[in-house]
Amino acid sequence: MNISNQQQNESALAARTEQKPAQYATPAADVESAKEGYTIHAEMPGVDKSGLEVTVDNGELTILGHRGAEGFSGEPVYREIRRNDFRLVFELDPTIDTARITARVDQGVLTLTLPKAESVKPRKITVE
Amino acid sequence: MNIVRYQRYPHSDLSVALGQLTNMRQELDRVFESPFGSLLRPLGSLNRWNPAVDVYQDKDQFTVYAEIPGLKKEEIEISFHGDTLTIGGERKREGNTEDGFRSERFFGKFQRSLTLPLPVNRDQVNATYKDGILKVVLPKAEEAKPKQITVSLN
């Protein structure tokens, strides 16, 4: 298994950079692997296309989801929903072709497709 | 204790865990002060999907928000029994996940019920679903709205 979740010290990081959300929530995520590559599904309710940042840097895939400012009307009576932005970091399998990573978001679920490079796919070599 | 919601966010970091405890404390304080405190309860066991729910109110209406990402509009069911609003549905797994090596999302049925402390106008309940958040607006019934009475002098 080459994709692993990096548990970083999120709050220390945020404190250092003095960004406004003090903590990120880790979205619930599924990772599937297949011959062709990997698929990640991450749940980020309240995040639309414009609130998503997916970056690949130095073999690390970072997913950031900023929740839009939802207009809540009235005073809160009961609250369970956490308003934190989402953050998820993976170390990428080096066989992934980072140029062909695709992302889409549908009703708060981000789907990332990470195809493996053609050169590493298993293939049969014909004996001449 | 009937308001426990099962949280599956994995946190290994101690400060995050402590932060959550503080949140929980605040949550409890809020719940015991709230008229909904005894009214919201997840059904069934804890290892099923209990989506997070928020309730807001102003003088005209209640607004209920539920985090239920990844559903289709048709898979959401909203019903009323007496004064109890029930939000339910089923999220189906798509594709094969047999070879998945990280599996944190819930699939299957979910249900949350809440009893409203004031009567609402059921015919005008309106629900929208955007970015995985369901929003249900429930206008208060006329008799439940606060009334201002003007004192007249004669």
CA A120/CA A99 separation, integer angstroms: 15
Q: Which residue has the higher pLDDT, A73 or B40?
A: A73
Q: What is the mean pLDDT of chain B?
A: 78
Q: Which residues of B are less than 8 Å from A81 in CB distance?
A: 52-54, 65, 67
Amino acid sitting at position A54: V
CA dist., res. B103 & res. A28, Å (int): 8
Model confidence at A10: pLDDT above 80? no
Condensed to tens digits (0 to 9), the pLDDT of residues B42-60 reads: 444 456 788 999 999 998 9
Interface contacts (A, B; CB < 8 Å): 143
**Domains, chain B, ordered by start:** 39-93+106-143 (2.60.40.790)
Set of chain A residues whose Cβ sits within 8 Å of the Cβ of B71: 107
What structural domains and CATH numbers belong to chain A? 4-120 (2.60.40.790)
**pLDDT at residue A122 in the model:** 74
Q: Which residues of B30-42 are buried (b: 16+ CB within 10 A; e: fewer)?
A: ebeebebeebbeb
Among the partner-chain residues B13, B54, B99, the one whose CB lies closest to the CB of A81 is B54
- Identify the residue among B102, B136, B138 best suited for mutation to test binding to A, counting A beta carbons within 10 A and taking the highest: B102
- Minimum CA–CA partner of A9 in chain B: B13
Nearest to B86 by CA among B131, B46, B34, B138: B138
Mean pLDDT of chain A: 83
Surface-to-core class of residue B131, CB atoms within 10 Å of its CB (0-12 exposed, 13-18 middle, 19+ buried): buried
Check CB contact under 8 Å for A77 and B36.
yes
Test A28 with B106 for CB contact under 8 angstroms.
Answer: yes
Q: Which two tokens stand for residue A84?
A: 């934190």
- Helix, strand, coil fractions of chain B, as percent rounded to 5: 20, 35, 45
pLDDT band, very low/low/confident/very high, at B41 (cuts 50, 70, 90): very low
Taking only Cα atoms into account, the Rg of chain A, rounded to an integer number of angstroms, comes to 18
pLDDT, tens only, B132-144: 999 999 999 988 7
CB contact under 8 A, A39 and B131: no
Min CA distance, B153 vs chain A (Å)?
34
**Residue contact B133–A80, C-beta within 8 A:** no
ipTM for the assembly: 0.75
Query: Which residues of chain A neighbour B8 with C-beta distances below 8 Å?
Result: 28
Residue from the list A11, A30, A77 with its beta carbon closest to the beta carbon of B100? A30
Given this model, what pLDDT does residue B152 score? 87
CB < 8 Å to B56, chain A: 72-77
Q: How far apart are CA B64 and CA B137, in angstroms?
A: 6
Residue B17 has pLDDT above 70, yes or no: no
Among candidates B34, B68, B105 on the partner chain, residue whose Cβ is nearest the Cβ of A78: B34
- Give the tens place of pLDDT for each residue, B86-112: 999 998 887 655 566 788 888 889 999
| Of A2, A3, A1, nearest in space to A63 by CA | A3
Q: Could you tell me the strand order of the sheet in which A109-115 lies?
A: A102-106, A109-115, A37-43, A29-33, B100-103
A7 closest CB neighbour out of B12, B27, B105: B12
pTM value > 0.90: no
Structural tokens at position B48: 């099923």
| Chain A residues whose beta carbon lies within 8 Å of the beta carbon of residue B13 | 7, 9-11
Q: Which two tokens stand for residue B122?
A: 């059921």
DSSP 3-state of A64: strand
* Closest CB to A31 among B19, B69, B100: B100
